[in-house]
Structure 1
Amino acid sequence: MKGKVFLAGAAGAIGAALTPLLVDAGYEVYGTTRRLERTDAIRAAGAHPILVDIFDRETLANAIECIAPTIVIHQLTDLPPGLDPKLMGDAVARNARIRGEGTANLVAAARAAGCEHVVAQSIAWAYAPGAQPYEESHPLDLCAEGARAVTVVGTAALERWVLSLNESGGIGTVLRYGNLYGPGTGRDTPQGASPLHVEAAAWAALLAVRHPRGGAFNIAEDGAEVTSEKAKREFGWRPELRVEHEAAH
C-alpha cells in the first residue's frame, strides 16, 4: 500500500474516474460524498466512503484527523445534471463557495492532521484576456464582471489556499482543467475553447500524486487556448490517457 488518500468529491465525474485509478495504483482511498445514496458506488469502486459536507468544518477536520492521509485531493463541484443551462446560474454561486470556503476548510483540516500534500481541481478558463495559448504564469481575470467574476474570484481563492502550502514546506498542486466531456459530465463530445476528457483529467490527478510538484498546471487537449506543456514535461501527462490505460502501467 502506497499510502492513504482523502478524496473529496469521490462521487463526482472526475472523482468517479479517479477512484479506481488510485486504488489500482496501490493507494488506500477514502472518498467523500454528502449524499448517502452515493456511498455504495464509492465502496464498489474500492474506496472507503466518508459521508461529510465540506462546509461542516468540525466533522471534516475530525474525519481527516482520524484517517491521517498522506495526500488530500480536492475534486468537489456542485453542478446540475447534464449542466442544465436553466440551473447553472445558481450553480456558479455554489461552486464559488466550494472553491473559497470549502477549500479553506479542507486545507485547514489537512494541515491540522499533518498532511502537507494537497492536489486540487481548478479551471483553465479563468485567465485574463491576452495572447494565447495561455501559460500558467498568465494572470487570472480578476477584473471580470457578472457571473464570470463570481467564478474567477472563487477560483483565485481556491488557488491561494492550495498554493499557500508551498510557502510552508508542503506541496500544493492546482490542476487547471479545461472544459470537461465524457461520462458523468453532461457532454459526450469535445466542447469549449479548451476541451478535456474526464478520464484524462483523472489521470492528471493521479500523476500529480505520483510525481509531487507544487504550483499550477494547465490540463487540456492539444490545440486548446491554453498550453499543457508544463504538465506533460513535469509529470508525463498526456491528453489521450484513459482509465483503461492503467493496466499497462
Structure 2
Amino acid sequence: MSEKVFVAGASGVIGRALVPMLLDAGYQVYGGSRRAEHGQALKALGAVPVLVDVYDAEALQQALVKIQPAAVIHQLTDLPRGLDPSLMAQAVVNNARIRDEGTRNLVNAAVAGGASRLIAQSIAWAYQAGDKPYRESQPLDFDAEGNRRISVRGVAALEQHVLGEPALVGTVLRYGQLYGPGTGSEHATGTSPVHVDAAAYAALLALQQSAADIFNITEDNTDVSNEKAKTVLGWTPAYRRALETA
C-alpha cells in the first residue's frame, strides 16, 4: 500500500503544484482545506479532500487520527490573492498567526495521527543583516521592527514547532519569493526568487529523503545560498513539472 501524505494548504499555490507530484511518485494524498469549494478541485487533481480548519485543533486532530498519514506537509499561508497591497497589513498578522498557532495545532495533530515526518513552508528573507549569501545557520532578524518583526516572529515560531517535536522528523523549507502559475507573478521577482514548481519539488525531495534540517529553496543569487538543498536533497531550481511530464 502506498504511503499516505496529508497536505495542509493543498489548494494553495504550492499545494496545487505539489499534489500531482506526490501522486506521480506513488503517494496517497489527502488534501486539507478550510473551504468547501476547494474540495472538487482537489478531487480533480486526484487527492482525497479533507475539509478542516487548522485553528480547530480538535477537528484537525480527529481528521489526522482517522487518516493515519505517514507524513504531513505544511503549505499553509493566509495571504490575499495576488498579494493585494491594500490587504497586506492585516495579512502579515494573519500569516504570523497561522505560522504559530496553526503550525502548533498541525504538529500536535500529526503526532496524534501517528505521522513520523513533517515538512513545513518557511521564508528565505527573514535573515538578520550580515555576510551574504545567507546560509541556514545564520540568525533570523529578531531585532526587526514593524511588520517585519511580526513576520520574523511568526517564522521563528513555526520553525521551533516543527524542529522541536521529538516524535517527528521535521524539515523546514525556507522559500524565496514565489513566481509562476497562481502566484500573481509570471516572472522572477525579489532578491531570491523561486518558481512554484521548483518549490513544490523541494517538498517532494524532503519527504522522500526524510531530511531533518533547514534548507534555503531559492534560485541562484547573491543574497541567499541554495547550496545545502542542492547537495543534501539533490534539488535544482531549474525543475519544472512540465519538463518532467513532456
Q: Partner residue of 2:98?
A: 98
Percent identity at matched positions?
57
User: Deviations 1:186-222 (Å, cap 9, x if unpaired)?
Assistant: 1111101111001100000001011111010000000
Q: Partner residue of 1:52?
A: 52
In the aligned structure 2, how far is the partner of 1:92 from the partner of 1:226? 22
User: Deviations 1:114-149 (Å, cap 9, x if unpaired)?
Assistant: 212100000000000001000000000011110000
In the aligned structure 2, how far is the partner of 1:124 from the partner of 1:180? 11
Q: Which amino acid aligns with 2:168?
A: G
Q: Partner residue of 2:210?
A: 212
In the aligned structure 2, how far is the partner of 1:154 from the partner of 1:196? 21
Residue pairs, 1:1-249, within 5 angstroms: 1-165=1-165, 168=166, 170-247=168-245
User: Deviations 1:60-102 (Å, cap 9, x if unpaired)?
Assistant: 0000000000000000011111111111111111100000000
On the 8 A contact 2:8/2:73 being kept in 1, the answer is yes
Aligned pair in 2 of structure 1 residues 137, 42: CA closer, same or farther (>3 Å)? Answer: same
Report how far residue 242 of structure 1 moved.
1.1
Unaligned runs of 5+ in 2: none
On the 8 A contact 1:195/1:224 being kept in 2, the answer is no
Report how far residue 183 of structure 1 moved.
0.7
On the 8 A contact 2:111/2:168 being kept in 1, the answer is no
User: Deviations 1:212-249 (Å, cap 9, x if unpaired)?
Assistant: 1101000000015111111111111000101234448x
Aligned pair in 2 of structure 1 residues 224, 41: CA closer, same or farther (>3 Å)? Answer: farther
Q: Which amino acid aligns with 2:193?
A: P
TM-score (norm 1): 0.96
The alignment of Structure 1 onto Structure 2 pairs a total of residues equal to 246
Structure 1 runs of 4+ with >4 Å offset: none
Unaligned runs of 5+ in 1: none
